[in-house]
Amino acid sequence: MPREITAFSNPLVKRVRNLREKRHRREEGLFIAEGLRILAEAEEAGHLPLYIFYTAEMENHMMVRRLAYACEAAGGEAIETNVDILHKLSGKDNPQTVLGVYAEFDTRLTTIDRSASGIWMVAQSLRDPGNLGTILRTGDAVGAGGLILLDECVDPFSVEAVRASMGALFTQSIAQATWAEFVPWLRAGPGQLVALSLRTDTDYRVPTYAAPTFLLVGNEARGLPSDYEDECDLHVKLPMRGKADSLNAAIATAVMAYQVLGQRD
């Protein structure tokens, strides 16, 4: 049976609201995902929420009932609430009518099974949560295995990143590591490390990519450190015909990933 919460002062409301801050996410090991479609995708990928919040009018929605039941059967809690509370929890003016609180995943490199896919995304010092989420979403679309975050990246469990991933956070593997941890891990098995770089003349359509291909993109403003580039097996660039001479990091990664996918077909 769902618990009903309509008071802003409820301690659980306060706890969940705090999960919009990284510090609280780390302390609790929890994060927020919004929207029925995304919660359903999470379930399909084997992730059930520890708490599921929904508005009264969603109570009889078949999928909500199923999720609430599964959540409770797994020891979680279903909570009927109202739009004002959901607004408070999500920070959105028009909040989704369903919201889940999930346990953060184990993001150690050792959780990555590189044989699971021929394409992997790797991002270094990525700062924008929208870019991170979009790269995950693109990874899902091209059938990548997941995203490896190197050095000081934005938090993949931030509300903005989860939102932009449109559920791909649950379908893609995610790891976080330093460059010093990543390189020995990479070299301990098969894998071609491909740098998206401005310091090469090799057009991205020229090489034949070897699987598993690890597509490495750098920080939005600075790109990759040059010693990181030195470690890469291949350096490619996208043609630039414009005046601004730059591409969004998520865009560059996507164009590359579709090129690799095209070669594999």
CA distances (Å), 126 to each of 16, 218, 249, 254, in order?
A: 26, 7, 8, 15
Is residue 202 at the binding interface for a copy of itself, with CB under 8 A as the rule?
no
Binding mask 85-124 for a copy of itself (x = CB under 8 A): ----------------------------------------
Q: What's the residue count for the chain?
A: 265
- DSSP labels, 66-78: HHHHHHHHTT-EE
Residue 129 C-beta: closest distance to a copy of itself, Å = 11
For a copy of itself, which is the closer residue by CB, 82 or 263? 263
Q: Which of 25, 114, 137, 237 binds a copy of itself (CB under 8 A)?
A: 137
Is residue 248 at the binding interface for a copy of itself, with CB under 8 A as the rule?
yes
Q: Which of 8, 21, 45, 59 binds a copy of itself (CB under 8 A)?
A: 45
Is residue 258 at the binding interface for a copy of itself, with CB under 8 A as the rule?
yes
* Residue corresponding to tokens 């699971």: 116
User: Dihedral sign, CA of 89, 92, 96, 102?
Assistant: negative
List Cβ neighbours of 82 (8 Å cut-off, separation of 6 or more).
Answer: 6, 55, 56
CA distances (Å), 114 to each of 71, 212, 258, in order?
A: 31, 7, 19
Residue 3 C-beta: closest distance to a copy of itself, Å = 31
Region 163-182 residues binding a copy of itself, contact defined as CB under 8 A:
164, 166-168, 171
Is residue 219 at the binding interface for a copy of itself, with CB under 8 A as the rule?
no
Q: Which of 30, 85, 142, 162 binds a copy of itself (CB under 8 A)?
A: 142
Q: Which of 44, 57, 152, 230 binds a copy of itself (CB under 8 A)?
A: 44
Alpha-carbon gap, residue 26 to 153, rounded angstroms: 15
For a copy of itself, which is the closer residue by CB, 79 or 98? 98
* Token reading at 131: 């870019």
Angle at 123 between CA 250 and CA 202, to 5 degrees: 75
By the 8 A CB rule, do 167 and 37 touch? yes
For a copy of itself, which is the closer residue by CB, 66 or 187? 66
User: Dihedral sign, CA of 97, 34, 250, 46?
Assistant: negative
Interface residue list for a copy of itself (CB under 8 A): 41, 44-45, 130, 134, 137-143, 164, 166-168, 171, 205, 238-248, 250-251, 254-255, 258, 261-262, 265
